[in-house]
Chains A and B, each alone.
Chain A
């Protein structure tokens, strides 16, 4: 399915916060192809961890809610410690398609790239609202202006890193600003990247959890204050 790449060499990292109603289905779907799925339960108050374990994932539990960026970094550290050759990040809300991971692996190996970034604007975005489309387009503009990364989708949770790339990425932005931070680090470490068309299917559940314009303003604030803090 993934060409010459063994699915066992891929670790899929899923950051989850109060996703008990969908996480079981997401994990079961992933595990049909990828046996190594790690769910980082980011301080959920529902049965997310129990549902994920029952579905066959390894679960790491943050005792408190830290944010998606922190959860992804925890999962990436675990995957690297387990000697994964590839690390994929995958949203827990069921809006991604597991079939896209295979496409990303193929694209990565064919182009000898280090990072594959999913793009809903090159692929399909089923059920995306106009306000969400505007917000994401502004995020793309912001990413291009601040990092120089020529991407068409700056906040897509579906990514694939080679081990070499994952070793270099350090997510310090705990919350949603991590997506811009990853873009920044791809440029800083000169990691060869490709964008791969993927399908995002919005559901009533995933719509509630997505970014808004106000959220985008928060992200800009987090990035600016994060830079100030590092400079301190």
Chain B
């Protein structure tokens, strides 16, 4: 009984976290709600997990829950990686902006000036890249 109460408290805490995220991500909210609800259901009615496992062709309810846990963990890991990459993109833009804003020029040498493209096959358009505002003026 003690472990059932502990698991239920854990799942309800998880549900509380999901609810707090509902404004940021509806997917996270719905996923945590579904996982917590299913978790509480199977904690208190474990024989139903066996029944469902047999329906899905899995030997035991515990195995079914274990497989679902692995799948959920993988999805969470990929989602976290995607979020980390998004943060890395922001860091990159910030670092690039700082780098382009403060070029170190060699001593006793005028700033770099490139010869203008002479051939018509090379356009002389201004670059409209990710952080051109950080670049020093021509």
Q: How far is the CA of A62 from the CA of B92 in the complex (A)?
A: 9
Stretch at the interface among B9-17, B42-50, B61-69, B123-131: B123-131
B106 near A56 (CB under 8 angstroms)? Answer: yes
- Interface bracket on B: 35 or more
Determine which of A58, A83, A170, A172 lies in contact with B117 in the assembled complex, contact meaning CB atoms within 8 Å: A83
Q: Is the interface of B mostly helix, strand, loop or mixed?
A: loop
Q: Is the interface of A mostly helix, strand, loop or mixed?
A: mixed
| Residue of A with least CB distance to B137 | A81
Smallest CB–CB gap between A155 and chain B, Å?
A: 21
Q: How far is the CA of A49 from the CA of B103 in the complex (A)?
A: 11
Q: Is A85 an interface residue (CB 8 A)?
A: yes
Q: Is B99 an interface residue (CB 8 A)?
A: yes
The 18 listed contacts between A and B (C-beta, < 8 Å) are: A9-B117, A9-B118, A55-B106, A58-B111, A60-B100, A60-B104, A61-B98, A61-B102, A64-B91, A74-B100, A77-B96, A78-B135, A81-B126, A86-B122, A163-B123, A164-B122, A225-B82, A225-B85
Known: A49-B104, A162-B121; 7 extra A-B contacts, CB below 8 A, are A9-B115, A53-B107, A60-B103, A61-B102, A85-B119, A163-B117, A164-B123
Interface residues of B (CB under 8 A from A): 78, 81-82, 85-86, 88-89, 91-92, 95-96, 98-100, 102-107, 109, 111-119, 121-127, 129-132, 135-136, 138
